[in-house]
């Protein structure tokens, strides 16, 4: 028996049985749209009769290089007969014709990416018959011209511009603005011209056989799965390329039958803010594509009940029912044909990050989902987009607002205007920030939308293509800003009496819908949103992995704690030495010819350090603060060789023309000092500083550097203890490769801590740990652990030293080639490499914990804020991850997801 390639909507039970009842696999088989049309049919919700050709048939079509298997077609024809019986109409019968729509529908929705053909089944005879039957010549001719146009562009691949040109000419001849105002005679002329376009462009007449139209449309939808724009979209959205798409053949229902007909799109909750209540648009006497294309001015769904009270109430009730059935916000398409409501689609609605969080929290409060499910539904990308910058209030007040549109995707975006998507991509590649400005967007524009920081359109509604795509990819967007007059040929946007050309700066606020001239200053986002706080609180209850911050200053530490950090996992002390008041002292310390002079400089640095550490302890009262000893090579604190060389040349020139002895003496002194400094710099030159005198090796060479830092740490702790602060310093030694290094440094630190405690007559915790940043340290971790109270994996260096690749050099040269050619799948400096670096972490941790089973161990490299790496850290059994303050909310959620994934695999 040949496989079942076709399921009618009323055969959803059979489809589900064929995949052992697994709904996810039903969605894979029928596509999301087909599965839900079947499900709605099963629920008794009014759905026009029809059937789905499976995604498996699409894959079969691709593997047979574009040949539709005979069995597929036979099953389609059978299902058409059933649809005829259900509707009481006959496909191709002029006296009582059935028309169908052919709609794509993959497992995951890809708005507008694949093709749709409506009104299949019309030809000259059927048109005549339908006019006789309906008495509505205008409606039938309008449907016919739509079929020829869609079939021409989608199936025959004729550029839609040719059809649009005919329509524009017809409107101009008739002196009307909208297509719907064209008369029967105008439409007849348009149809003739459309047929001529088809004949001229495709070298064949428009096919009059309805079955031929259907067959070609199904094949065109299958082909569109492999089309470039669908491919690009899947790439960006992380959808697998081998899923294939279903094709849904649905009996046509007409929203353009007259004033008792309508069509619309609505979400069961607000997709921008997440607030409860229907949100969407509809049009009286129109077809669905008119709403989505954003060409006609739509009406808000709240007005549906004013025009059609019963339909409005029925739709609201169905929306509610679908939402509770799917336990999620629904995005629905509907049509009203002569007073009867039909649902054409439902799916989980795309939403902004803000709405995602709000809806998840509300659904828990409503008892629809539990806390775990709410946390599961929020992605790290959602949290990231909530961390988008916002416009700074004072700057907004001063900014020139030029227009207002719909606030469809929040966030502030500032960029240069580009009117076409290819230019947006080119400019983005040149490092420019771009706002894509278009009358409306189409699926072909997606690459440009992705390359832009914001999207602005002059037409279209909340469910327009621009709004959907922007929301999905977290791009701030304002749509339907009708005050903007965009002239694509002269590349000018006019608003009021102002004009902007391509390349001019504009700012848009996707949260309010405001459009501003020029650049408006942005600031940090508001993270005190109660729904977000609730959701992250739930994530905290789930996760077992700790989250600390990499913070070097008091203000960073305060922010980190507000964002949920449970301490500081890495304070890079060298950042404290770069301040203009400190650098000269630091340079004096480095260049000191004798120990006495070095100690004097060190003594000057002490108060600075003590002050900075005290700030950190205050911010983190009661939480651990890991302070790493000085790490980089000392030459980083000295001026560059080239700079000194230039100064010397300059001084020599000035010396030659010195006007008097006094100047000459001063110049000579400067020359002498600069030459000495150059010699110092030269003496510290290393051919490979990354592997040279840095990290613990500095402290080994100059124990006084370790001692001063230890003193600053413990004196600061003693100082704040006097203020009632519970300071919990942890001293961390970097770049250790052997246990003896740590043992030596430990003795220095303990000695200094004891001295401070004795001087101040205070007891302080002395916790000393080490970073594991080189492969040898990982391999001898058990020996090192004997001297360590904690480990922290410095995965930046561990990645460099494991791969033998300098991060700075790799990222600016060959690494991008590795990534584009697929030698590396991901950048190992961004996402932890499980095979090499991860394996070393695993080995180190297991062996160290044979000695110290509860050894605290964290990760403090960049990977600590990357969700995929956080999942690995959880699996290795690390105690915490440490990341920059702004990544903390992402890390909290990712850590909860890691725990949920672990629970799931334990259950499986
Ligand atoms: C590391 O190497 O991962 C680390 C945190 O140290 P740094 O980035 O300062 O070298
Ligand atoms: Mg390091």
Average pLDDT over residues 152-174: 93
Task: Report the run of H or E that residue 396 belongs to, with start and end.
Answer: helix 393-398
| Residue 294: predicted pLDDT | 60
What is the C-alpha to C-alpha distance for residues 481 and 461, in angstroms, rounded to an integer? Answer: 10
Is 695 touching ligand 1 by the criterion CB < 6 Å?
no
Q: Which two tokens stand for residue 418?
A: 């580009």
8 A C-beta contact, residue 376 and residue 897: yes
- The CA angle 182-466-176, to the nearest 5 degrees, is 15
Task: Report the run of H or E that residue 413 belongs to, with start and end.
Answer: strand 412-418
Average pLDDT over residues 315-337: 96
Question: Does 236 score more than 80 pLDDT?
Answer: no
Q: Which two tokens stand for residue 49?
A: 């009769």
Pairing of strands 492-495, 434-438: unpaired
Which atom in ligand 1 lies closest to the alpha carbon of residue 795?
A: 3
What is the C-alpha to C-alpha distance for residues 495 and 820, in angstroms, rounded to an integer? Answer: 42
Alpha helices in 684-728 (DSSP H): 696-701, 703-721
For residue 42, name the pLDDT band (cuts at 50, 70, 90): very high
Residues 6+ apart with CB under 8 A from 574: 630, 631, 632, 636, 637
Percent of the chain clearing pLDDT 70 (strictly above): 98
What is the C-alpha to C-alpha distance for residues 530 and 721, in angstroms, rounded to an integer? Answer: 34
Is 860 touching ligand 1 by the criterion CB < 6 Å?
yes
| Residue 598: predicted pLDDT | 87
Average pLDDT over residues 51-69: 92
Question: Does 578 score more than 80 pLDDT?
Answer: no
Of 99-113, 433-447, 871-885, the range with the highest mean pLDDT is 871-885
Which atom in ligand 1 lies closest to the alpha carbon of residue 863?
A: 3
What's the gap in Å between 858 CA and the centre of ligand 2? 13
Is 773 touching ligand 1 by the criterion CB < 6 Å?
yes
Pairing of strands 568-572, 546-550: parallel
- Taking only the tens place, the pLDDT of each residue in 702-752 is 999 999 999 999 999 999 999 999 999 999 999 999 999 999 999 999 999
For residue 9, name the pLDDT band (cuts at 50, 70, 90): very high
Percent of the chain clearing pLDDT 90 (strictly above): 71
Is 572 touching ligand 1 by the criterion CB < 6 Å?
yes
Q: Which two tokens stand for residue 253?
A: 């229902």
Find the farthest-apart pair of alpha carbons in the chain and give their distance in angstroms, rounded: 114
What's the gap in Å between 773 CA and the centre of ligand 2? 6
Question: Does 358 score more than 70 pLDDT?
Answer: yes
What is the C-alpha to C-alpha distance for residues 185 and 261, in angstroms, rounded to an integer? Answer: 23
Nearest Cα residue to 201 out of 251, 243, 149, 242: 149
For residue 292, name the pLDDT band (cuts at 50, 70, 90): low
What is the C-alpha to C-alpha distance for residues 187 and 140, in angstroms, rounded to an integer? Answer: 10
| Residue 201: predicted pLDDT | 95
Is 862 touching ligand 1 by the criterion CB < 6 Å?
no
Is 797 touching ligand 1 by the criterion CB < 6 Å?
yes
Average pLDDT over residues 157-182: 90
What's the gap in Å between 172 CA and the centre of ligand 2? 69
For residue 329, name the pLDDT band (cuts at 50, 70, 90): very high
Is 563 touching ligand 1 by the criterion CB < 6 Å?
no
User: Three-state SS for 332?
Assistant: strand
Distance of CA 636 to the CA centre of its chain: 36
What's the gap in Å between 744 CA and the centre of ligand 2? 20
- The CA angle 711-716-717, to the nearest 5 degrees, is 100
Question: Does 297 score more than 80 pLDDT?
Answer: no
Which residue has the CA at smallest separation from atom 3 of ligand 1? 794
- Taking only the tens place, the pLDDT of each residue in 810-865 is 876 788 788 878 899 888 998 999 999 999 999 999 999 998 999 999 999 989 99
What's the gap in Å between 629 CA and the centre of ligand 2? 11
Per-chain mean pLDDT for the chain: 92
**Structure letter (DSSP) for residue 349:** P
Nearest Cα residue to 513 out of 440, 414, 409: 409
Question: Does 97 score more than 90 pLDDT?
Answer: yes
Buried-exposed string 106-145: b where 16+ CB fall within 10 A, e elsewhere: bbbbbbbbbbbbbbbbbbeebbebbbeeeebbbbbbbbbb
What is the full DSSP assignment across 585-613?
Answer: HHHHHHH-SSHHHHHHHHHHHHHHHHHHH
Cβ neighbours, 10 Å, residue 192: 12
Average pLDDT over residues 85-112: 91
Task: Please state which of the ranges 31-35, 396-400, 894-898 shows the lowest mean pLDDT.
Answer: 396-400
For residue 114, name the pLDDT band (cuts at 50, 70, 90): low
State whether the Cα torsion 885-886-887-892 is positive or negative.
positive
What is the C-alpha to C-alpha distance for residues 194 and 172, in angstroms, rounded to an integer? Answer: 17
The model scores a pTM over 0.85: no
Distance of CA 899 to the CA centre of its chain: 22
Q: What spatial distance separates the first Cα and last Cα of the chain, rounded to whole Å?
A: 34
Task: Please state which of the ranges 108-122, 445-459, 536-550 shows the lowest mean pLDDT.
Answer: 108-122
Which atom in ligand 1 lies closest to the alpha carbon of residue 734?
A: 6
Question: Does 94 score more than 70 pLDDT?
Answer: yes
Distance of CA 369 to the CA centre of its chain: 25
Beta bridge partners of 401: 516
What is the C-alpha to C-alpha distance for residues 840 and 825, in angstroms, rounded to an integer? Answer: 20
- Taking only the tens place, the pLDDT of each residue in 452-482 is 999 999 987 766 778 877 876 778 999 989 8
What is the C-alpha to C-alpha distance for residues 106 and 54, in angstroms, rounded to an integer? Answer: 9
| Residue 864: predicted pLDDT | 95
| Residue 774: predicted pLDDT | 98
| Residue 511: predicted pLDDT | 80
What is the C-alpha to C-alpha distance for residues 427 and 503, in angstroms, rounded to an integer? Answer: 10
**Ligand with smallest separation from the Cα of 636:** 1
What is the full DSSP assignment across 827-861?
Answer: -TTTS--IIIIIHHHHHHHHHHHHHSTT-EEEE-S
8 A C-beta contact, residue 719 and residue 757: no
Nearest Cα residue to 779 out of 798, 759, 757, 763: 798
Question: Does 570 score more than 90 pLDDT?
Answer: yes
Question: Does 268 score more than 70 pLDDT?
Answer: yes
What Å distances lie between residue 892 and 376, 496, 544, 567, 870, CA to CA? 12, 47, 10, 13, 10
Burial class (CB in 10 A: 0-12, 13-18, 19+), 196: middle
Which atom in ligand 1 lies closest to the alpha carbon of residue 861?
A: 3
Alpha helices in 175-254 (DSSP H): 184-202, 210-225, 228-237
Sheet holding 330-337, edge to edge: 299-300, 276-284, 262-269, 330-337, 340-348
Is 858 touching ligand 1 by the criterion CB < 6 Å?
no
Residues 6+ apart with CB under 8 A from 506: 414, 415, 416, 417, 435, 437, 456, 500, 515, 516, 517, 518
Buried-exposed string 674-711: b where 16+ CB fall within 10 A, e elsewhere: beebbebbeebeeeebeeebbbbbbbbebbebbbbbbb
What's the gap in Å between 735 CA and the centre of ligand 2? 7
Cβ neighbours, 10 Å, residue 348: 17
Residues annotated as catalytic (active site), given as ranges = 465, 860
Which atom in ligand 1 lies closest to the alpha carbon of residue 862?
A: 3
């Amino acid at each position: 028996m040949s496989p079942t390639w076709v399921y009618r909507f009323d055969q959803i039970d059979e489809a589900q049985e064929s995949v052992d009842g697994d709904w996810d696999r039903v969605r894979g088989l029928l596509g999301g749209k087909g599965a839900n049309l079947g499900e709605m049919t099963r629920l008794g919700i009014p759905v026009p009769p029809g059937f789905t050709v499976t995604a498996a048939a699409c894959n079969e079509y691709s593997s047979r290089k574009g040949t539709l298997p005979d069995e597929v077609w036979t099953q389609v024809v059978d299902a058409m007969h059933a649809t005829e019986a259900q509707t009481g109409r006959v496909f191709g019968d002029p006296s009582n014709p059935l028309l169908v729509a052919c709609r794509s529908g993959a497992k995951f929705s890809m708005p507008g990416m694949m093709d749709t053909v409506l009104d299949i089944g019309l030809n000259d005879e059927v048109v005549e018959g339908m006019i006789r039957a309906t008495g509505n010549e205008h409606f039938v001719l309008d449907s016919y011209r739509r079929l020829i146009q869609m079939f021409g562009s989608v199936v025959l691949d004729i550029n839609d511009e040719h059809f649009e040109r005919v329509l524009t000419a017809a409107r101009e001849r008739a002196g009307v603005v909208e297509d719907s105002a064209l008369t029967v005679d105008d439409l007849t002329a348009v149809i003739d011209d459309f047929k001529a376009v088809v004949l001229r462009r495709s070298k064949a007449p428009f096919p009059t056989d309805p079955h031929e139209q259907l067959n070609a449309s199904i094949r065109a939808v299958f082909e569109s799965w492999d089309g470039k724009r669908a491919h690009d979209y899947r790439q960006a959205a992380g959808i697998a390329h081998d899923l294939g798409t279903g094709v849904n053949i649905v009996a046509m229902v007409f929203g353009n039958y007259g004033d008792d007909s309508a069509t619309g799109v609505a979400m069961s909750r607000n997709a921008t803010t997440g607030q409860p209540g229907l949100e969407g648009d509809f049009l009286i006497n129109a077809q669905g594509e008119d709403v989505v294309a954003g060409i006609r001015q739509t009406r808000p769904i709240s007005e549906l009940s004013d025009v059609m009270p019963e339909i409005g109430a029925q739709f609201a009730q169905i929306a509610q029912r679908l939402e509770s059935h799917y336990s999620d916000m629904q995005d629905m398409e509907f049509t009203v044909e002569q007073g009867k409501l039909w649902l054409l689609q439902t799916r989980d609605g795309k939403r902004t990050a803000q709405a995602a969080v709000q809806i998840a929290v509300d659904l828990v409060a409503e008892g629809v989902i539990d806390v775990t499910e709410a946390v599961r539904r929020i992605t790290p990308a959602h949290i990231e987009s909530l961390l988008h910058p916002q416009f700074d209030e004072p700057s907004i007040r001063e900014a020139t607002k030029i227009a207002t549109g719909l606030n469809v995707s929040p966030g502030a975006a500032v960029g240069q205007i580009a009117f076409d998507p290819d230019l947006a991509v080119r400019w983005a590649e040149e490092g420019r920030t771009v706002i894509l400005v278009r009358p409306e967007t189409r699926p072909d524009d997606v690459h440009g939308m992705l390359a832009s920081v914001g999207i602005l359109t002059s037409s279209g509604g909340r469910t327009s293509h621009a709004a959907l795509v922007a929301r999905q990819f977290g791009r701030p967007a304002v749509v339907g800003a009708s005050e903007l007059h965009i002239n694509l040929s002269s590349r000018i946007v006019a608003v009021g009496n102002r004009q902007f050309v391509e390349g001019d700066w504009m700012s848009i606020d996707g949260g309010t819908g405001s459009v501003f001239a020029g650049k408006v200053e942005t600031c940090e986002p508001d993270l005190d949103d109660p729904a977000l706080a609730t959701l992250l609180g739930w994530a905290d209850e789930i996760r077992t992995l700790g989250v600390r911050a990499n913070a070097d200053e008091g203000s960073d530490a305060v922010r980190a704690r507000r964002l949920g950090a449970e301490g500081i996992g890495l304070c890079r002390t060298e950042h404290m030495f770069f301040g203009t008041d400190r650098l000269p002292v630091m340079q004096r310390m480095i260049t000191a010819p004798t120990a006495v002079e070095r100690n004097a400089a060190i003594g000057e640095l002490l108060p600075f350090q003590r002050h900075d550490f005290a700030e950190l302890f205050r911010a983190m009262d009661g939480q651990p603060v890991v302070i790493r000893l000085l790490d980089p090579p000392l030459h980083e604190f000295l001026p560059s060789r080239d700079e000194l060389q230039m100064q010397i040349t300059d001084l020599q020139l000035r010396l030659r023309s010195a006007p008097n002895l006094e100047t000459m003496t001063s110049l000579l002194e400067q020359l002498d000092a600069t030459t000495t400094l150059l010699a110092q710099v030269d003496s510290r030159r290393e051919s490979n500083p990354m592997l040279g005198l840095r990290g613990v090796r500095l402290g080994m060479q100059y124990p006084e550097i370790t001692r001063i830092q230890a003193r600053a740490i413990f004196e600061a702790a003693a100082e704040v203890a006097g203020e009632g602060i519970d300071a919990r310093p942890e001293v961390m030694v970097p770049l250790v490769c052997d246990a003896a290094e740590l043992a030596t440094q430990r003795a220095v630190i303990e000695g200094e801590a004891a001295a401070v405690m004795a001087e101040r007559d205070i007891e302080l915790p002395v916790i000393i740990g080490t970073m594991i940043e080189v492969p040898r340290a990982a391999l001898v971790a058990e020996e090192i652990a004997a001297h360590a109270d904690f480990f922290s994996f410095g995965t930046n260096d561990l990645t460099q030293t494991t791969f033998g690749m300098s991060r700075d050099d790799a990222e600016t040269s060959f690494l991008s080639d590795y990534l584009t050619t697929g030698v590396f799948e991901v950048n190992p400096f961004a996402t932890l490499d499980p095979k090499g670096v991860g394996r070393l972490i695993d080995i180190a941790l297991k062996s160290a914990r044979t000695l110290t089973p509860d050894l605290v161990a964290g990760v403090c490299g960049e990977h600590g804020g990357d969700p995929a790496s956080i999942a690995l850290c959880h699996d290795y059994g690390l105690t915490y991850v440490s990341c920059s303050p702004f990544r903390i909310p992402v890390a909290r959620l990712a850590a909860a997801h890691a725990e949920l994934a672990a629970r799931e695999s334990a259950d499986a």
